[in-house]
Amino acid sequence: MAPRKKVAVMTSGGDSPGMNAAVRAVVRTAINMGCDAYCIYEGYEGLVRGGDLIRQMHWEDVRGWLSEGGTLIGTARCKAFYQRPGRLLGAKNMVANGIDALIICGGDGSLTGADKFRQEWPSLVDELVANGDFTEDQVTPYRHLNIVGLVGSIDNDLSGTDATIGCYSALARICEMVDYIEATASSHSRAFVVEVMGRASGWLAVNAGTATGADFVLIPERPEEHDWKEKMSLVHREMGKRKTIVIVAEGARDKEGQKITPTEIKDLLSDTSENGLALDTRITTLGHVQRGGSPVHMDRMLATLQGVEAVKAVLEATPGTETCFIALEENKIVRKPLIRAVQETQELAKAVESKDFTRALQLRDREFADSLKSYHITTNVTVDDDKLPTDKRMRIGMINVGAPAGGMNAAVRAAVAYCISRGHEPVAIHNGFAGFARHHDDKPLGAVRPFNWLEVDSWASKGGSEIGTNRELPEESGMELIANLIEKYQFDALFLIGGFEAFHSVAQLRRARDQFPSLCIPMTLLPATISVNVPGSEYSLGSDTCLNELVGYCDKIKQSASATRRRVFVIECQGGRCGYTTVLAGLSVGASAVYIPEEGISLSMLHADVNHLKEVFNADKGQSRAGRLILVNEKASKVYDAKLIASIIREEAHDRFESRESVPGHVVQGNNPSGMDRCRAVRLAIKCIQHLESFGRNAHNRVKTDPSSATVIGIQGSEIVFSSVKQLEETGTDWPNRRPKVAHWLEVRDVVDALSARPAYPKPEKSLTGLIAKDTKRGLA
């Protein structure tokens, strides 16, 4: 019988939030796939020193690691590994432990060293035989080394991927700190210069600037085209702004390639000379606060799914397979050649050094370029350079429909900014279609009025919906009345933000076009709902904010469960008849089981899970972090709710362990939206207005025949696409259950079960009725 395959994982370089989630995923996936799992402690230093720094890991060894910051297996710089003798020792230790499959989570330097190690491996093994360390027979099974990289970096500085493990947690810390700073800046009418990490990458600075509505952002890749001091000197408070926020990356440069320091910016803003700005200015350097703390949901999910994919990749690799790393493109996990990405990253650094900033930006991923463009659009609002001719300017109504979701205000702000910069007139329709239908000039229940930019400018970080929202559909408000009001206010286009009710509204308006000609205007929907149940998109604004809140809530509950030792908590999750939130939260908190509407709940399923819990607690050796969580969607069953499930578990446990239920309710909608929700809101909202703008004014005849005149913008795999509402209505929507027919996240549910060691269980009779399981291999929910 052939020996079991051994897979090792190590973290190297700087620590990043989410690294522990990646290690956990690698260890448990390797074991689940019939391999032995090893951790190499202290990075390359542990690889060179060997001994007890290379340890076999078992299933329970990584329990509770999802919520831990930093890296629990350590990381250390190792000068010895830079030289061949050091790499020879590393090879010796790996062969001695029978390891020939290595997954490394680190930055580009660590991954470059790993690839060089792989290239030298055959000659290193030959040298070990020649030195008498091993016989030829001993090394025969380990003639080839397979390596896969996971990129851990809060700077998000590797080319070829939209995001690296840790960057979203760092962005969350920055946004939180800048939100605090803005409050005091506004109170004292001050300017603040906030320095963030990013020696060679402006990703954190650009996205933080976009998410917080900062006045200026300075980065390495793209200096201001004109002298930055001259541009910043034009800052003024005539519009009534009481604060100025400047975000500068630590590696920021001017167009001459000279480093820009926070002190330099402060001196400019606080200059009290005759032509100076004389602003009361402070400097805040966030430093290592950015990389600390528990990882946010997105980093846990990214690290977990990439870790699973890395194990598959390293086991599928052959001697001729090029070393790959696991990357993210929009919403899809993909394998990419490692060396090409490293070369492009190094080429980018050289481009910055040589002041070829156009080339530097080209080497960044598409998402970065989009974010940078979006930031400039939302800050250069009053500049007249991009305004359209008067006859091409449109009057665009903006309305929120459905429940509030994080990012709605950021989306409205971005849409308004783009409209003003192009000369369009953005008009707010307050309180959804209900407010639209019932407003009156003398007694407004809602309001229809042009946006005030000074008011909207402060909405970037606000949660909820500043223009209000309502679930009422146009047909409920009165379609004829809505059509007459659209004609009365002379709207040339309609921009909707919301959940399934908003999708249903667009569908109703589209179908009524033949009866009401005033509805023959382009309209597009930006999905915003914690349920993520809008057909046409794998992502909705507010979902990341919701998941961060839910994951934080579960972490606290799990701590209580662990402290009380033998306890199971059953947590009820919102999400309507879509199990997305429940499954993704289950992945990020290591739930023992998740119950979703798409599958349903049966007594036999509960019986199997209770028996599994009995076995788990019977085998408990008394280590910490022994608490267990079960997540159940609010509509997974008409009978088995969280309270009843907890009661059943308690009864069947026979005092072996306890169970409690917990309902976070609307708390999961969150307060301030997450950085990711804010940034995606800005990018997608601008694309929506550009799409509406492409139709122009008086496009009634074209609108009647063009399916793209009523659309949903969405992220599908690695692409941002506009989908026809007509097609989605007819083929993509499960109307009775108010969700898409395609559940792009279903495979993630299988990962949750695999990483929690949940055994096979009887499927309910109506399990997954009418649901299409999309091919989501390597997909990110």
Q: Binding residue per annotation — 23?
A: no
Q: Give how far Cα 446 sits from Cα of 229, 242, 434, 452, 498, Å.
A: 44, 29, 8, 16, 18
Q: Binding residue per annotation — 282?
A: yes
Q: Binding residue per annotation — 18?
A: no
Q: Is 433 helix (H, G, I), strand (E, B) or coil?
A: helix
| Beta-bridge mates of residue 528 | 541
Q: Binding residue per annotation — 109?
A: yes
Q: Is 708 helix (H, G, I), strand (E, B) or coil?
A: helix
**Cβ contact 247:262 at 8 Å:** no
Q: Binding residue per annotation — 108?
A: yes
Six-digit token string for 419:
């409209």
Q: Binding residue per annotation — 576?
A: yes
C-beta neighbour count of 664 within 10 angstroms: 17
Q: Binding residue per annotation — 471?
A: yes
Using a 10 angstrom Cβ sphere, with 0-12 exposed, 13-18 middle and 19 or more buried, the burial of residue 374 is: buried
Q: Binding residue per annotation — 717?
A: no
Using a 10 angstrom Cβ sphere, with 0-12 exposed, 13-18 middle and 19 or more buried, the burial of residue 458 is: middle
Cα 119 from Cα 8, distance rounded (Å): 18
Q: Binding residue per annotation — 199?
A: yes
Q: Binding residue per annotation — 738?
A: yes
Q: Binding residue per annotation — 197?
A: yes
Q: Binding residue per annotation — 132?
A: no
**Cβ contact 394:696 at 8 Å:** yes
Starting from the edge strand earliest in sequence, which strands make up the sheet with 324-329, in order?
Answer: 54-57, 36-40, 6-11, 101-106, 146-151, 324-329, 332-337
Q: Binding residue per annotation — 55?
A: no
Q: Binding residue per annotation — 683?
A: no
**Cβ contact 553:670 at 8 Å:** no
Cα 162 from Cα 452, distance rounded (Å): 34
Q: Binding residue per annotation — 153?
A: yes
Strands (E) located in 725-772: 733-734, 739-740
C-beta neighbour count of 727 within 10 angstroms: 14
Cα 665 from Cα 655, distance rounded (Å): 29
Q: Binding residue per annotation — 118?
A: no
Q: Binding residue per annotation — 574?
A: yes
Q: Binding residue per annotation — 655?
A: no
Q: Binding residue per annotation — 289?
A: yes
Q: Binding residue per annotation — 346?
A: no
C-beta neighbour count of 288 within 10 angstroms: 10
Cα 594 from Cα 685, distance rounded (Å): 33
**Cβ contact 11:62 at 8 Å:** no
Cα 258 from Cα 265, distance rounded (Å): 13
**Cβ contact 425:396 at 8 Å:** yes
Q: Binding residue per annotation — 575?
A: yes
Q: Binding residue per annotation — 557?
A: no
Angle at Cα 592 formed by Cα 589 and Cα 596, nearest 5°? 90
The helix (run of H) or strand (run of E) holding residue 378 is: helix 366-379
The helix (run of H) or strand (run of E) holding residue 262 is: helix 262-270
Give the pairing of strands 324-329 and 332-337. antiparallel
Is 155 marked active-site?
A: yes
Q: Which of 36, 100, 155, 609 is catalytic?
A: 155
Q: Which residues are annotated as a binding site for Mg(2+)?
A: 108
Give the residue numbers of the binding site for ATP. Answer: 14, 77-78, 107-110
Catalytic residue annotation: 155
List binding-site positions for substrate: 153-155, 190, 197-199, 250, 282, 288-291
Can you say which residues are annotated as belonging to the binding site for beta-D-fructose 2,6-bisphosphate? 471, 567, 574-576, 634, 660, 738
